[in-house]
Structure 1
Amino acid sequence: METLNNIVLTIQDYLSNYILIVALVGGGIWFSIRTGFIQVRGFTEGLRRTFGGLFSKKGEAGKDGMSSFQALATAIAAQVGTGNIAGAATAIAIGGPGAVFWMWVAAFLGMATIYCEAIMAQKYKKVGSDGIITGGPVYYIRAAFKGTFGRVLAAIFAVLLIFALGFMGNAVQSNSIASSFHTAFGIPQWITGVVVAVIALFIFTGGMKRIAKVTELMVPLMAALYIVGSLIIIIYNWRNIPLAFEQIIVGAFAPDAIAGGAIGATVSKAITKGVARGLFSNEAGMGSTPHAHAVAKVDHPVEQGFVAMTGVFIDTFIVLTMTALVIVTTQALPKSYEIVEGGYSAAALSQFAYSTLYGKGGEIFIAICMFFFASSTIIGWYFFGEANIKYLFGPKAVPVYSVLVCVCVVLGSLAQVDLVWNMADCFNSMMVVPNIIALFALSGMIKKTHDDYFKNFLPKHPELQRKKKK
C-alpha cells in the first residue's frame, strides 16, 4: 500500500507541476485569444444573467433540463467545496501569500476555458434513453474524435470522473465534514457520515428536479454565510488590508521579500501551488461542471457560456479570496508557526485564522461552512458521475450508483486514508487530459458557435441587445 501510494504521489506530482500547468494555462490563454477575451467583454452579461436568474422566476427542472440559474447553482455547488477552505490554506502555507495572486491568474484564464466547455456541452447535449436531457465531455469528445479513438477516450474520461468525483472525491468531502464537526462539537465521525449519507440519498433519489431545487436554495445561502463571516474578520483587521495586498502581489514575484518568508516559499512554489489550487478550486478545464451547464434551458449555447464564467468568478475571486484574505490579514500563517512547531495545515490553518476573532466560534463557523460546502459538492459531483454512469451502463445502473456513493460517504467519514485522498487528486488530474484534448480539437467549432451568437443570433433578437445596454 505504501509503495502504491508513493507511485500515485509521483504521478500526481508530475501531472500537477508540469502537464496540467502547461495544458490548463496554455488552454486558458488560447481560448482567451480565440474568443477575444470573452471573460472581459462578456463579464457584465454574465453577471446580468446570473443575478437576474437569482431574483427572477427560476422555473422548474424536469426532463427537458434545468433553468440557467439552476444549472449554475449545481455547478457552483461542485466548485465551492473544501478546496475553498483547505485548498486556499494549503496553497498559502506552501507558496506563501503570493500564491493567491496566481490563483487569480488561473481563474481569469479559466473563465475563458469554462466558457468554451459550457458552449460545447450545450452544443452536443443528448436526450437519454430515459427521455432526460444529459450532456458533458463524453459527448463532445465523441464529436471531436470519430470512431474507436473517440469511444475509448470518452470511456476513459467517464471512468476517471466516476471514481475521482463520485466515489473517492465524495469520500474526501465527507471526511472533511466529519472531522470538522468532531473538532467543533465532539461528534463521532461515523455519526456525521451516516447523517450526511442519508440526506444525500434522499436528494439523489429525487432526480434532477430535487437536485436543482436543493442547489438553487443552498448555494446562495452558503455563499452569503461564508462571505459575511469572512468580511467581519477582514474589516476587523482593516489596518492589515493594504499590507495583505502588498504581501500577495510582492509575494507572487519575490516571496523572500515578505515577512514570514521563513516558511520556505519560492516563486516556483507560489506559481505552481497558486495555479494548481486555483484551477482545481474552480474546476475550469477539468470537464466536471459542463455536465450541469449542458442541461440548462437556453436559446443559444453562448448564453450558458456567460453564466459558466460567472461561476468561476464567484468561486475564486469571491469565495476563495475570502479565505485567503482572512488568513493573510490575521497574520495566521506566521502566528501558527510561532504557536505550534511546524504550523497548521489545510483546514486547520483556516480554523486557526477564524478563531483569532471568533475564538471557539471560529471552529464552529468553519464546521458549519464545511458542512454546506462539502455537502453541496457531494450533490454536484454525484450528478456529474450519474451522467457518466448513464453513458457507460444506461439509466438502470443509476440506483446502484446512488447506493455506492452513499457507502463511500459513510466510509470516507471514518478515517482519512492517504491512498484514497491521493488517488482522488490523481484521477482529478488525469480527467483534464482527454477534456483539454477534445476542446483543442473542437477549437474551430467553439469559434464558429461563438461568432454565430454575436453575428447572427443577437441581431435577430434586439430585445437582448437592449437588456445588455441597460
Structure 2
Amino acid sequence: MEFIQNLIGQANSLLWGYILIGLLLGLGFYFTVKSGFVQIRHLVEMFRVICEKKSPREKGGISSLQAFFIGAATRIGTGNLAGVAMAIALGGPGAVFWMWIVAVLGGASAFVESTLAQIFKVKDKDGFKGGPGYYMEKLLGKRWLSTIFAVTIILSFGTTFNAVQSNTIASALNNSFGLNELVVGIVLTVLTGVIIFGGVKRIAHFSSIIVPIMATFYIALALIVTVMNITELPAVIALIVKSAFGLEQVIGGGFGAAIMMGVKRGLFSNEAGMGSAPVAAATANVSHPVKQGFIQALGVFFDTLLVCSATAFIILLSGAYKDGIQGIELTQASMAEHFGSWASLFLALAILMFAFSSIIGSYYYGEANIEFIHSSKTALFIYRVIALGMIIFGSVASLQIVWDLADLAMALMALTNLVAIGILGKFAFKALHNYMEQRKQGKDPIFYADDIEGLKGVEAWPTRDEKYKEAV
C-alpha cells in the first residue's frame, strides 16, 4: 500500500508540479486575453442573461435564474468546505490567493468549454446532452480522444471523487457524533445502491430539497462571521497575499505548496477547465451558446470567490488552522470557535447532505460515460460494483490517499479537456463575437449553425436556410 501511495504521489508531483499548473493558468490567461477579458468585461451581461425571462415559445424547463441558483446551491460541498481547509492546512493561507487566481482565469476557461458544449450538443429523449466527448469527436474527429476523456471522467467522478465524499462524511460524523467510519461507509453504500440499482429516487429527491436550504444557511453563517470580524478582515487578506508569495512564514508550507494546493483545490471546487461542467451546460435550452458560457463563468466566480472565500475567512479568523488538523475537521473546529459546538454539528449534517448529493450526481456522470464508451449491462454492473466499493474504501481510508487518488484522476481528466479546448477555443471566441454583434444591434442573440465558418458536426442548431424553410 505504501508503494502504491508513493507512486500516486510521484505522479501527482509530475502532473501538478510541472504540467497542470502551467497549463491551467497559461490557458486561462490566453483565453482571458483572446476573449477580451470576457469573464470581467461582460459581468453585467452575465447578470442580464441570468435574469432574462424565458421566451413564451419555450415550453417546460426552468429559467436561467432558477437554474443558476439551484446549481450554485447544490454545488456547495466537499470542495468548498473540506477542500479549502486542506488547502490552508497544507499550503498555508497563501493557497487561498491562488484559488482566487484559478477562479478569475478559470472563468474564461469555463466560458470556452461551456460555449463549445452548447455548440456541439445533440438532442436526446430528455432534451439535450453533450460535453467534451462530443466536441472532441465532432470537430476534431478524434473518437479515441473522446474515449480517453470518458474513461478519465469515470475514474474521477464515478470512483475517486466518491471516495473523497464518503471520507469527508465519515470524518465529519465521527468527529461530531463518534460514529464508526466503517459503519457510516456501509450505510452510505447501501443508500447509494438502493438508488442506482433499485431506481428509488426518494432519497435523492429529499437531498435535492434540503441541500439548497443548508447551503443558504451555511453562506449566511459565513457572512455573519465576516461581518462580526470585519475589522480583522484587512489583516487576513494581507496574510493571504503575503503568504501566497512566501513573504511571510506560516504554518502549512511555503511558496510552492501554496500555489500547488491553491490550484488543485480551486479546480476541485469550481471545475473550470476540468471538463465536467460542460456536460451539465450542454443540457440547457438557450437561444445562443454564449448565454450558457456566461452563466458557467459566473458560476465559477460564485463558487470560489464567494463560497470558498467565505470558508477561508471562517478558518483564518479563528485560531484552529494553527492546531495541525486538516479537512472537514478543521472547518468544523473553526465553526465551533465562532458559534459554539452546535455549528460543528450543523456542519456535519450539512456535509452529509452535500456530499451524498455529490455521490449520486458523480455516479450518474460516470454511468453516462460508460454508455458513451460501450452500452453493455455487464459493463454497467461492473461499474456500479466498483463505484459502491470506492464509497466503502473512502470511508475507512486515510485523508491523504483519497485526496491523492482524486487529484491524479482529476489531473488526467483536466489534461485531456484542456488540450481539446486549447485547440477549439477559437470557435468559442467567434461565437462571442457573433453574440456581441447582435447585442449591439439591440437583438436577443440567436445562433445558427452557419454563423461560424469552419464548424462541422453541429446537430442541435439549425442553419439559416433550414430556419427559413421551417418558417415558410
Same fold judged by TM-score > 0.5? yes
Provide the aligned length of Structure 1 versus Structure 2: 441
SS state at 1:154 partner:
helix
Which runs of 5 or more residues in structure 1 are unaligned?
Answer: 337-342, 465-470
In the other structure, the counterpart of 1:93 is: 89
Amino acid at match of 2:135: Y
The one of 131, 135, 140 equivalent to 2:135 is: 140
Matches within 5 A, 1:378-397: 378-394=359-375
SS state at 2:404 partner:
helix
Deviations 1:389-440 (A, max 9, x none): 2211238565764565344334433444855542222011111111011101
Cα distance change of structure 1 residues 454 and 103 upon mapping to structure 2, 3 Å threshold = same
2: CA distance, partners of 1:181 / 1:53: 42
Task: Give the structure-1-normalised TM-score.
Answer: 0.83
Structure 2 contact 113–278 (Cα < 8 Å) conserved: yes
2: CA distance, partners of 1:215 / 1:36: 40
Structure 1 contact 81–374 (Cα < 8 Å) conserved: yes
In the other structure, the counterpart of 2:405 is: 423
1: CA distance, partners of 2:140 / 2:228: 55
In the other structure, the counterpart of 1:408 is: 390
In the other structure, the counterpart of 1:104 is: 100
2: CA distance, partners of 1:210 / 1:51: 31
Cα distance change of structure 1 residues 218 and 300 upon mapping to structure 2, 3 Å threshold = farther
Cα distance change of structure 1 residues 44 and 457 upon mapping to structure 2, 3 Å threshold = closer
2: CA distance, partners of 1:48 / 1:391: 35
The one of 346, 359, 369 equivalent to 1:365 is: 346
Deviations 1:289-337 (A, max 9, x none): 1111111111111111111012111110111111100111123323x2x
The two structures, once aligned, show a CA RMSD in angstroms of 3.2
In the other structure, the counterpart of 2:115 is: 119
The one of 353, 356, 377 equivalent to 1:375 is: 356
Cα distance change of structure 1 residues 3 and 192 upon mapping to structure 2, 3 Å threshold = closer
The one of 129, 150, 160 equivalent to 1:158 is: 150
Deviations 1:226-264 (A, max 9, x none): 1112223333333322211221223333432xxxx2526
2: CA distance, partners of 1:126 / 1:210: 29
In the other structure, the counterpart of 2:15 is: 15
2: CA distance, partners of 1:321 / 1:206: 39
Percent identity (aligned): 39
Structure 2 contact 318–334 (Cα < 8 Å) conserved: yes
In the other structure, the counterpart of 1:352 is: 333
Structure 1 contact 75–293 (Cα < 8 Å) conserved: no
1: CA distance, partners of 2:438 / 2:204: 31
Which runs of 5 or more residues in structure 2 are unaligned?
Answer: 447-472
Deviations 1:8-57 (A, max 9, x none): 11011121122111111111111111221111122233234446689xxx
Structure 2 contact 185–391 (Cα < 8 Å) conserved: yes
> Which has the higher mean CA deviation after the structures are superposed, 400-409 or 280-289?
400-409
Cα distance change of structure 1 residues 361 and 78 upon mapping to structure 2, 3 Å threshold = closer
2: CA distance, partners of 1:223 / 1:406: 26
The one of 302, 315, 321 equivalent to 1:327 is: 315
SS state at 1:442 partner:
helix
Cα distance change of structure 1 residues 393 and 69 upon mapping to structure 2, 3 Å threshold = farther
In the other structure, the counterpart of 2:431 is: 449
The one of 268, 279, 284 equivalent to 1:280 is: 268
Structure 2 contact 25–105 (Cα < 8 Å) conserved: yes
Deviation at 1:452?
Answer: 1.6
Cα distance change of structure 1 residues 218 and 72 upon mapping to structure 2, 3 Å threshold = farther
2: CA distance, partners of 1:206 / 1:289: 27
Deviation at 1:446?
Answer: 1.5
In the other structure, the counterpart of 1:3 is: 3
Structure 1 contact 70–216 (Cα < 8 Å) conserved: no
The one of 233, 239, 253 equivalent to 1:247 is: 239
Q: Is structure 2 residue 180 aligned with structure 1 residue 188?
A: yes
1: CA distance, partners of 2:215 / 2:42: 23
Deviation at 1:460?
Answer: 7.1
Amino acid at match of 2:372: Y
Deviation at 1:215?
Answer: 7.8
Structure 2 contact 236–317 (Cα < 8 Å) conserved: yes
Amino acid at match of 1:300: H
Cα distance change of structure 1 residues 368 and 274 upon mapping to structure 2, 3 Å threshold = same
Deviation at 1:69?
Answer: 5.4
The structure with the largest helix share of the pair is: 1
Amino acid at match of 1:295: T
SS state at 2:325 partner:
coil
